[in-house]
Structure 1
Amino acid sequence: MLSFFRDRRAVALLMAASLTVLSNMIISPALPGLQASFEGTDNAELLTRMLVTAPSLLVAICAPFAGMSADRFGRRRQLLAGALLFSIAGCAGAVLPSLELILASRLLLGLAVALVMTSQAALIGDYFSGESRGRFMGLQIAAVNFSGFAFVGLAGWLAGISPRLPFGIYGLGALILPFLVIAIVEPLRGARAGTASPEAHQAQITSGTDGESDWVLTLSVVVVLSALSFVLFYMIPTQMPFYLAELGHSEPSAPAQVLAMVTLAGGAAALVFGPVRARLGRGMTPALGYLLMAAGFAVLDWAHDMTFISIAAMLVGGGFGFTMPTFFSLALDVAPAARRGLASGAITTSIFVGQFISPFYSTPLISAVGYEASFAVGAVILVIMAVVVMLKFHRRGGAPVLA
């Protein structure tokens, strides 16, 4: 795994991946303060929560087209343009005068995230293959979570000073842009698309590197599961600050602590994803992840103490660290080389559709039955999802190919 850090392309892709964790959760600790700042705005409660998930709407709409664009016009220039737009749109929230304008900037941020995520994921498929790709996916999720741990902690501290200051963290995109320019190399079109020659293309099919025959069906199942996963997972960043405030923990550091535990545990789980995946396979690994998440939601159903809430957050984050690398790796492996941008766009869309609709699912549910019962409902759904992935993917075998 350390060998990846000697490859500047790999380091650049990890840096680009770290941008994605900033897109939504980084302003979560500032939500109560932002809501208070715009308390005279109509629907301020819903609009404030939408600041976390608004980028997801544009990502969901644009990611399929961004994926096809990366396949057609090249990954490198799209990644660089996305990183620059990311910083401009992200930092805008620090100075815009109204909640509606901040929401608009968050939508523009979503476009940037779509450009970055689809091109970055496609480049992983171009640069790495087989076991190496699987190990890199685990390392990437770990990097995203550990960077999220640092960024969320910083955001919590900044939000305690001013709810506008966390927006400045988005400037990281501009800081890493020069290294991306140097490190990222556009793959040759023939090597990327698998069309260098008929003989080479047939060799890819024979060896399994040009995708699986039922890749569309497999990708469709993964898309649905990814969306459902994020609907439930994003109850943590969108609702936890307000749940903690109801429990008497209204200080910004409280939700920042919970989110930090989520990302820290997710990073630790992703670091051991490779050996766990090799041992359990592509069905049992995400099933284990869903069961851990279900356990975390079950603890939230009855725990009111910050210690137990932090333990619950670690269970949710750890489970998520086993689930998402499986889906990303599987999607890149089953899709043909010429469709990796499309596959990455489909997964990206599913992720952000789930993020965007999460508050529309959780807010009415919480209003109807309360926070604790809503967490219990989430736990039941996650157990059902564990059974589904075990039945769907475990019988297909396949850890050697997709590990």
Structure 2
Amino acid sequence: MPDWKRPLREGDASLQDSWIIKTERIARMATISVFAQHPPVTSPAAELPAWRRILIIVILLTGGIKSALAFTTVVPALQLIAQEYSGTGDAVLSAQFVVTLAPIGMALAGLLAGAIVSSTNLRGMMFGSLAVCTIAGLLQLIPMNYYLLLASRFVLGFSAVLADVAMTSILAAQFGGAFRSKLIGYRQAMSSIGTVSTMLLAGWLAQKYGWRAPGIMFLLPGVMLAAAIFAFDKPITLERQVAAAGERFSIWQLWPLLLLSLVMSIGHTMPSFQMPFLLRENGITSAVLVSRVPALSSAISILAAFAFGFVYARLGAWTLVISATLMGAAFIGAGLAPSYEFILFCVVIEGIGAGWTIPFFLNRVLDKASPAQRNYGIGIVQSSLFLGHFLNPILTAPVRLNFGIHGTFVAVGGALVLVAVLIAAWTIAMRGGRRSI
């Protein structure tokens, strides 16, 4: 019987797993090719020995994986976490807060990073943040009070984003021109690959050894720290950017775009935060099968992100219309899905829209913001995206308690379709004017 016709079984290396592996291989091949290239002679990294430059590139490209670990080490085990903390009231909401305290720390760090991370402390901030991230993540292995666990998750998210800001600033300082743009793109791909890989590994660890076991993966930022101390042997500074005379643009003029990024982020987290409980209602409790859903979503998002430039160049604001429509239709389908296989089909549709969401908002801010305001704009967009992660379980809880988890998916999907219709109407009305999305 062909693979695509075989029913899915626990422990089976099924079709979606093979697609995930193929997706990772495609991205890895693209990433490896960067090591054969040389940065422009004007880049500070061009003066470094080849081995040190390659080590720095490896550290910077894989740096985003530690932020993914804040989610992937607990999402596949949400059902198990809910069982352990069932005495805290709403067990589902309690388990979801274990996930969402990290993104609220990330959101706050994104807002404060400009004041905390400066051109004079990039290397020290990277070292310190990686150390705190490692310790806070490994605390998951230790049995502790529920509220202490939440506090450690907040510290984990805060330190992970500070490390990201420092490492991205170092990347910008060490590499320039088109080579830097390629590195930033590959870094996003590596982060997505890390999300897929660690999600699957976390599901297996949680199934075999309990929900705390995936915390062992936080040894990875510790390894990054050791490599960074060895690779970055000199202080790093950034060039100062001077605002143009008379420039009065405020990033808050983009508030509709920032609000939409928050709304889309709430929908973006549905496969990770809500899908495990939808699967439980459908009788699917295996952590391995549960982990495949967000992992498949991430794998499809990787492929969609590779095509984003082609789509965005031709559709502009309509890219978000299509993205919201795909995600909304997929969530409605998942809420009404009769089988696990059909849910996976809906996840594929959702993954396409999700893969365009974050690149859309980052590109839109870069298109609209003045050069002196772009860094602030990107930081605020990232904060709004993480804030959406925090708000998802809070805003969906009343719907879930009154209409069930299936009704929640239908409601969120319907809301996203409505958002798509409103964006389309606004885009037609503005016709590319300054007030367009």
TM-score of Structure 1 vs Structure 2, range by shorter chain: 0.7 to 0.9
Unaligned runs of 5+ in 1: 196-200, 206-211, 399-403
Q: Secondary structure at the match of 2:283?
A: coil
Look up the equivalent residue of 2:260 and give its one-letter code: L
Map 1:251-330 to 2 at 5 A: 251-281=286-316, 283-330=317-364
User: Which piece of structure 1 moves more, 385-394 or 268-277?
Assistant: 385-394
**CA RMSD, Structure 1 to Structure 2 (Å):** 3.2
Are 1:163 and 2:214 an aligned pair? no
1:69 to 116, 119, 122: 116
Question: 1:222 — aligned with what?
Answer: 257
Conserved? CA contact 2:120–2:236, under 8 Å: no
Question: 2:49 — aligned with what?
Answer: none
1:183-234 alpha-carbon deviations (Å, 9 max, x no partner): 6987644x3x324xxxxx76xx9xxxxxx97461454333222211121222
Map 1:121-200 to 2 at 5 A: 121-122=168-169, 138-161=185-208, 162-181=210-229, 182=231, 188-189=237-238, 191=239, 193-195=240-242
User: Which piece of structure 1 moves more, 159-168 or 140-149?
Assistant: 140-149
Matches of 2:211 and 2:281 in 1, distance apart?
19
Aligned length: 383
Look up the equivalent residue of 1:248 and give its one-letter code: G
Larger RCO, structure (CA 8 Å, separation 6 or more): 1
TM-score normalised to the size of structure 1?
0.83
Map 1:1-400 to 2 at 5 A: 4-5=34-35, 6=37, 8=54, 10-71=57-118, 73-122=120-169, 138-161=185-208, 162-181=210-229, 182=231, 188-189=237-238, 191=239, 193-195=240-242, 214=249, 216-217=251-252, 219-281=254-316, 283-332=317-366, 334-335=368-369, 339-387=373-421, 391=426, 395-396=431-432
Matches of 1:37 and 1:56 in 2, distance apart?
22
Matches of 1:214 and 1:338 in 2, distance apart?
9
How many angstroms does 1:113 deviate by?
2.3
Conserved? CA contact 1:114–1:348, under 8 Å: no
Conserved? CA contact 1:230–1:351, under 8 Å: yes
Q: Secondary structure at the match of 2:143?
A: coil
Matches of 1:290 and 1:228 in 2, distance apart?
10
CA 1:389–1:188: 2 relative to 1, 3 Å: farther
Matches of 2:61 and 2:399 in 1, distance apart?
36
Q: Secondary structure at the match of 2:144?
A: coil
More helix as a share of residues: 1
Matches of 1:290 and 1:175 in 2, distance apart?
38
Conserved? CA contact 2:119–2:237, under 8 Å: no
CA 1:373–1:41: 2 relative to 1, 3 Å: closer
How many angstroms does 1:4 deviate by?
4.0
Matches of 2:333 and 2:411 in 1, distance apart?
12
Q: Secondary structure at the match of 2:73?
A: helix
Matches of 1:186 and 1:288 in 2, distance apart?
45
Matches of 1:184 and 1:389 in 2, distance apart?
49
How many angstroms does 1:304 deviate by?
2.9
Matches of 1:125 and 1:221 in 2, distance apart?
28
How many angstroms does 1:14 deviate by?
2.5
How many angstroms does 1:338 deviate by?
5.3
1:143-166 alpha-carbon deviations (Å, 9 max, x no partner): 222211111000000010111101
Matches of 1:331 and 1:350 in 2, distance apart?
13
1:228-261 alpha-carbon deviations (Å, 9 max, x no partner): 1121222221221122111110111121011111
Conserved? CA contact 2:266–2:389, under 8 Å: yes
Q: Secondary structure at the match of 1:24?
A: helix
Matches of 1:371 and 1:43 in 2, distance apart?
14
Question: 2:46 — aligned with what?
Answer: none
CA 1:139–1:376: 2 relative to 1, 3 Å: farther
CA 1:129–1:300: 2 relative to 1, 3 Å: farther
Conserved? CA contact 1:34–1:163, under 8 Å: yes
Aligned-pair identity (%): 27
Q: Greater Rg, structure 1 or structure 2?
A: 2
User: Which piece of structure 1 moves more, 180-189 or 25-34?
Assistant: 180-189
Matches of 1:267 and 1:29 in 2, distance apart?
20
